């Protein structure tokens, strides 16, 4: 791909509750190149959203704490910046689309004001210039009649339009990196496809890199260049999207793919992964997927496997790789 934009090294984010330590993100490593799209997939509670919030240093306090690691953005460690300098990075350099537009937008402010607030925070300019920038951003996300829509309140928009407005807020300062946390969850299939196409167009136009968090492998196939598969606070496998689908190395990745329904095949019942993910406050000594893996042996249950290279740009954390 292009030049290295973001590199996350051994990131650990823990939550402290009385005598309990919840290891939400526990030694995560990955990178994102310029203009690249990295997919982050895995079951609910595996640490996807918490990883993205850690990058932006938006961990809920006082319980949450980034314990160790590095988040290098263009070579600068974001974890070492002052809060004032970090506020300059958020929105302008790295931005985020949150999951639910119903809760992301303030119901008592017009959408123009909400988009304008982000621009005014980072960019200087007169009121007339600000209005023209808001209209330009709304036009970029294909909101019809943006000149009049800037005076609408969120309740006057459809779900799909609200999601586009949330996207407009996120890209209003034209960031280098956009993190999209399951942005299509509340959309129906048709609107979802349109939104993904729109997101790809905006990425090309602005030259952004993208981290796309999702449960949907269909979305991964259509939008991502590489995929990182997370489980219980760790990345189990990371590889180009084609390798993940056609030649997965980790048993967890293979199990997830088997659970995806195949429209061309008639089946009596859908495949599911037996058992439950481990509790993040009492993690096993060995591989975190061992209790649910059919190929696990004594070594898997007692010793954690290292991340190993299994192919070109393909890495997996497994003692018994599929290839």
**Over the stretch 292-307, which tens digit does the pLDDT of each residue have?**
999 999 999 999 999 9
**Over the stretch 280-293, which tens digit does the pLDDT of each residue have?**
999 999 999 999 99
Residue 127: pLDDT above 80?
Answer: no
CA pseudo-torsion sign 310, 314, 318, 320? negative
Residue 200: band (very low, low, confident or very high) from pLDDT cuts 50, 70, 90: very high
- CA 141, CA 317: separation in Å to the nearest integer? 39
Q: What is the pLDDT of residue 114?
A: 92
Residue 184: band (very low, low, confident or very high) from pLDDT cuts 50, 70, 90: confident
Cα–Cα distances (Å) from 79 to 42, 52, 58, 226, in that order, read: 25, 13, 11, 25
Name which of 231, 256, 232, 229 is nearest 314 in CA terms: 229
Q: What is the pLDDT of residue 128?
A: 63
pTM exceeding the 0.85 threshold for the entire prediction: yes
Residue 12: band (very low, low, confident or very high) from pLDDT cuts 50, 70, 90: very high
Q: What is the pLDDT of residue 126?
A: 55
Residue 134: pLDDT above 60?
Answer: yes
Average pLDDT over residues 220-236: 95
**Beta-strand runs (E) in 103-194:** 177-181
What b-and-e string marks burial along 177-214, b requiring 16 or more CB atoms within 10 Å of the CB?
Answer: bbbbbbbbebbeeebbeebbebbeebbeeeebbbbbbb
Output the DSSP codes for 79-119: GGS-HHHHHHHBTTTEEEE-S-HHHHS-TTS-HHHHHHHHH
Name which of 173, 219, 228 is nearest 195 in CA terms: 219
Q: What is the pLDDT of residue 81?
A: 95
Look up residue 43 and give its two tokens: 């079951």
Residue 125: pLDDT above 90?
Answer: no
Phi, psi of 34 (to 5 degrees): -60, 135
**Over the stretch 68-88, which tens digit does the pLDDT of each residue have?**
999 999 999 999 999 999 999
Look up residue 211 and give its two tokens: 């981290």
* Percent above pLDDT 90 for the chain: 71
Residue 321: pLDDT above 60?
Answer: yes
Average pLDDT over residues 126-144: 86
- CA 307, CA 119: separation in Å to the nearest integer? 41
**Of the ranges 28-37, 155-164, 285-294, which one carries the lowest mean pLDDT score?**
155-164
Name which of 190, 183, 241, 187 is nearest 39 in CA terms: 241
Q: What is the pLDDT of residue 268?
A: 77
| DSSP 8-state code for residue 271 | -
Residue count (the chain): 323
Q: What is the pLDDT of residue 1?
A: 55
Bridge partners of residue 13, in order along the sequence: 25, 66
Look up residue 238 and give its two tokens: 């990371």
- What are the sequence ranges of the domains in the chain? 4-93+175-268
Mean pLDDT of the chain: 91
Bridge partners of residue 252, in order along the sequence: none
Average pLDDT over residues 2-22: 94
Q: What is the CATH number of domain 4-93+175-268?
A: 3.40.50.300
Whether the Cβ atoms of residue 288 and residue 300 lie closer than 8 Å to each other = no
Average pLDDT over residues 195-216: 92
**Over the stretch 33-58, which tens digit does the pLDDT of each residue have?**
999 999 999 998 999 999 999 999 99
């Amino acid at each position: 791909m292009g030049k290295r934009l973001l590199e996350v090294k051994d990131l650990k984010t823990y939550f402290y509750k009385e005598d309990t330590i919840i290891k939400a993100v526990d030694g995560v490593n990955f990178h994102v190149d310029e203009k690249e799209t990295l997919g982050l997939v895995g079951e609910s509670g595996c640490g996807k959203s918490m990883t993205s919030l850690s990058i932006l240093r938006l961990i809920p306090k006082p319980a949450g704490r980034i314990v160790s690691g590095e988040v290098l953005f263009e070579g600068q460690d974001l974890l070492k910046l002052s809060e004032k300098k970090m506020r300059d990075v958020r929105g302008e350099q790295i931005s985020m689309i949150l999951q639910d537009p119903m809760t992301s937008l303030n119901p008592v402010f017009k959408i123009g004001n909400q988009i304008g607030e982000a621009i005014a925070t980072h960019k200087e300019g007169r009121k007339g210039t600000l209005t023209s920038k808001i209209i330009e951003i709304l036009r970029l996300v294909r909101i019809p009649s943006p000149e009049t829509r800037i005076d609408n309140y969120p309740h006057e928009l459809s779900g799909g339009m609200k999601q586009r407005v949330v996207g407009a807020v996120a890209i209003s300062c034209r960031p280098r990196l956009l993190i999209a946390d399951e942005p299509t969850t509340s959309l129906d299939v048709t609107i979802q496809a349109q939104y993904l196409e729109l997101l790809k167009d905006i990425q090309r136009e602005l030259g952004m890199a993208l981290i796309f968090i999702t449960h949907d492998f269909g979305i991964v196939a259509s939008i991502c260049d590489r995929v990182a598969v997370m489980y219980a606070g760790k990345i189990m496998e990371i590889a180009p999207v084609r390798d993940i689908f056609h030649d997965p190395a980790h048993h967890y990745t293979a199990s997830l793919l088997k659970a995806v329904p195949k429209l061309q095949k008639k089946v009596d019942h859908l495949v599911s992964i037996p058992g439950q993910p481990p509790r993040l406050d009492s993690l096993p000594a060995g591989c975190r997927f061992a209790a649910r893996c059919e190929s696990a042996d004594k070594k898997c249950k007692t010793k954690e496997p290292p991340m190993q290279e299994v192919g070109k740009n393909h890495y997996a954390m497994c003692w018994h790789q599929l290839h």
